[in-house]
Structure 1
Amino acid sequence: MTDFAPDLGLLLDVDGPIASPVSRTVAIETIAPDLVTLANAGVPIAFNTGRSDGFLREQLIPPLRAAGLADDALVWGICEKGAVWMRITAHGEAELSVDEELRMPPAFTRDIERLVDASYSDLVFFDHTKRAMVSVEQRTDVSNEEYLDRQGRFNADVAEVLERHDLGFEWEGERHPDAAGSVGYRIDPTIISTDIESNRVGKDLGASRMMQFLADEGVEAPHRWRTMGDSRTDYAMADWLHDNGFEVAHVDVRPSDGVPEGKPYPIRQHSSLIHDESGALYVRRWVEMVRGEAADDADV
């Protein structure tokens, strides 16, 4: 790590901005080395994702280590939208932490697995690496068009399972309270998956955890932050940072999902590139900013 700490911190979604949603892999030649350059320069980085720790161990941590991640780099994996987390080091990863209060009920989890096996195994797979939330993901041998065409039916079946278990939930803006009138869970569809989760998880929870990680390390949090994601839910990172007095700009690598209006911070988006191709350009510009070769990233 350098002798100075740049006034910059990063909270990054993984699917889309860092890992290709098609191949589900990280571009080793481009994004990984630039992320390591930033981390080794003293920029604290958290991968704030709905992905599991297993996905990060398989797809993200090896290229970071291969690119020369320093022993004292400040890097974390915040998985399952804040329910699971770990320190990422030059040697791999530190001890895993799981918020037990955010786990989905085991009986519900088993019923969703049975639903997949019985009716949707030709379309999706059940993600056994998740420790708190329940995720069902598009098979890589299925086109995204076919997946999205059938995703709505699957989500409706998930809602029926939640109702059968008397679990109040939110889905597409509608409340489905349980017998006690509470709403404790959420169905969150993405372009390649459906997550069923506690409504207490989210990218804002990940942002708040990042501040606790830095405090635990005795590191003062940077004032300036960049967040990056590929869906409207990722804006919650920037919302939390802004609401807590930090300077932030958000990079949206898939603005077709809908760019919210009236945000009180800058929103960056590339004019033609999306997903990890757009993400790679912004990560490279942040390297240039830290090196003093670029003043800002507004013109990427």
Structure 2
Amino acid sequence: MTVSTAPSPAVVAEPAFGLLLDVDGPIASPVSRTVAITSIGRDLAAMANRGIPVIFNTGRSDDFIARQVVPPLREAGLHAGAPVFTISEKGAVWAEVTPEGLGEIHLDEELRLPAALADDVRALVAERFSGHMFFDETKRAMISLEQRTDVANEDYLAVQPEFDAAAPALLEKHQVRDVRIDPTIISTDIEHDRLGKDLGAARALELLQARGISPQAWYTMGDSRTDYAMASWLHERGHQVSHVDVRPADGIPETAHPVLTSDTGAIHDDAGAEFLSRWARSLC
């Protein structure tokens, strides 16, 4: 499809709200690992084109964003200059999102894990776990193992604890400190302990401040308890924020800010699509 040649949107210094969005779950299907619902790309592009900041705050790599998230935005007519960014690998990597793809990739080298450790984890997966998971070669700072798409989630989850139990020996071998092992429903991340959705929120504000953008309020969205950290970080710094939980079955923690869930009982990207459409309509 031809890249949109529409004029750049005017910068809105104080947009009505900003969006800080986890990707797996709310935006990309945890089953297909794609943006499977057409309205998601349409509504995100429509809001961004009207000056609403759209920031993906994700553990995914910049490569995943470029391959899976940018094309639906391009197809929906995202304008050049719209305030869209990705903060990938839980704050270690960031870039502007444009109709052509990603802009310059920035990496915090202090948060990158040693290549030798990654090599040993890759070898461990190949030797013992390749029937259920794969080594994510696109990560720049983290080390991630992900469920194969041809494996049932319950089968993957049955094996995941065995990998998680084997990983600490490799951290000890390489004398790596200040690192945590973070399992999710479809992956395990080995990451510097400074990484997290709160670091992503801090990067988001820095990116917007550089453009002179200060949203009047925020909506954050995620599918796990760790995603609450971005809303908590914003609230603690005086921002008005509501968090959308698209997988509330894990239990909604007590928070000092509002927590929203689907009125229809939808979860994952179905719930994400509901909220995005609602927010896009509010601008009309």
RMSD: 1.3
Give distance in 2, aligned partners of 1:2 and 1:254.
35
Alignment partner of 1:151 out of 144, 148, 160: 160
| Residue in 2 that maps onto 1:167 | 176
> Taking CA–CA contacts closer than 8 Å with sequence separation of 6 or more, which of the two structures ends up with the larger relative contact order?
2
- Structure 1 residue 91 displacement after superposition: 2.1
Paired residues of 1:104 and 1:198 also in contact (CA < 8 A): yes
Equivalent-residue separation in structure 1 for 2:176 and 2:81 (angstroms): 43
Partner of 2:260: 268
1:136 to 142, 145, 166: 145
8 Å CA contact 1:6, 1:290 repeated in 2: no
Distance 1:214 1:114, change over 3 A: same
Aligned residues: 274
- Partner Cα separation in structure 1 for residue 250 and residue 96 of structure 2: 31
In the TM superposition, residue 72 of structure 1 has moved relative to its aligned partner by 2.1
Residue 42 in structure 1 maps to residue 35 in structure 2: no
Deviation at 1:259, TM superposition (A): 1.5
Tell me, yes or no, if structure 1 residue 12 matches structure 2 residue 21. yes
1:186 to 2:180 alignment? yes
- Relative distance call for 1:211 and 1:116 in structure 2 (3 A) is same
Paired residue type of 2:197: K
Choose the corresponding residue for 1:211, options 198, 201, 205.
Answer: 205
**Contact 1:43 1:74 (8 Å CA) reproduced:** yes
Letter in 1 for 2:89: E
User: Structure 1: where are the runs of 5+ without partners?
Assistant: 169-183, 292-300
User: Is 1:277 aligned with 2:267?
Assistant: no
Q: Which residue of 2 aligns with 1:173?
A: none
Identity of aligned residues (%): 55
Ranges in structure 2 where 5+ consecutive residues have no aligned partner: 1-8
Q: Aligned equivalents of 2:182 and 2:252: distance in 1?
A: 18
Work out the CA distance in 1 between the residues paired with 2:234 and 2:259: 14
In structure 1, the residue matched to 2:234 is 241
SS in 2 for 1:153: helix
- Alpha-carbon shift at residue 221 of structure 1 (Å): 1.2
Residue 220 (1) aligns with residue 213 (2): yes
Conservation of the 8 A alpha-carbon contact between 2:18 and 2:217: yes
Question: Which secondary structure state, in structure 2, belongs to the residue aligned with residue 30 of structure 1?
Answer: helix
* TM, length-normalised to structure 2: 0.94
Amino acid at match of 1:242: H
Contact 2:22 2:58 (C-alpha < 8 Å) held by counterparts: yes
Residue 56 (structure 1) aligned to one of 65, 71, 82: 65
- Residues 61 and 3 (structure 1), Cα distance of their counterparts in 2 relative to 1, 3 Å cut: closer
Q: Deviations over 1:157-180 (max 9, x none)?
A: 112211222334xxxxxxxxxxxx
Task: Determine if contact 2:15/2:216 at 8 Å carries over to the other structure.
Answer: no
Which piece of structure 1 moves more, 208-217 or 196-205? 208-217
DSSP 3-state at the match of 1:33: helix
User: How big is the shift at 1:256?
Assistant: 1.8
- Distance in 2 (CA, whole Å) between partners of 1:86 and 1:33 is 21
Deviation at 1:28, TM superposition (A): 5.1
1:103-153 deviation per Cα after TM superposition (whole angstroms, max 9, x unaligned): 011111111001000000101000000000000000001000000111111
- For 1:101 and 1:267, the matched residues in 2 are separated by 33
| Residue in structure 2 matched with residue 87 of structure 1 by the alignment | 96
Contact 1:28–1:63 under 8 Å retained in 2 = no
What stretches of structure 1 move > 6 A for 4+ residues in a row?
Answer: none
Rounded to whole Å, the distance in 2 between the matches of 1:223 and 1:240 is 16
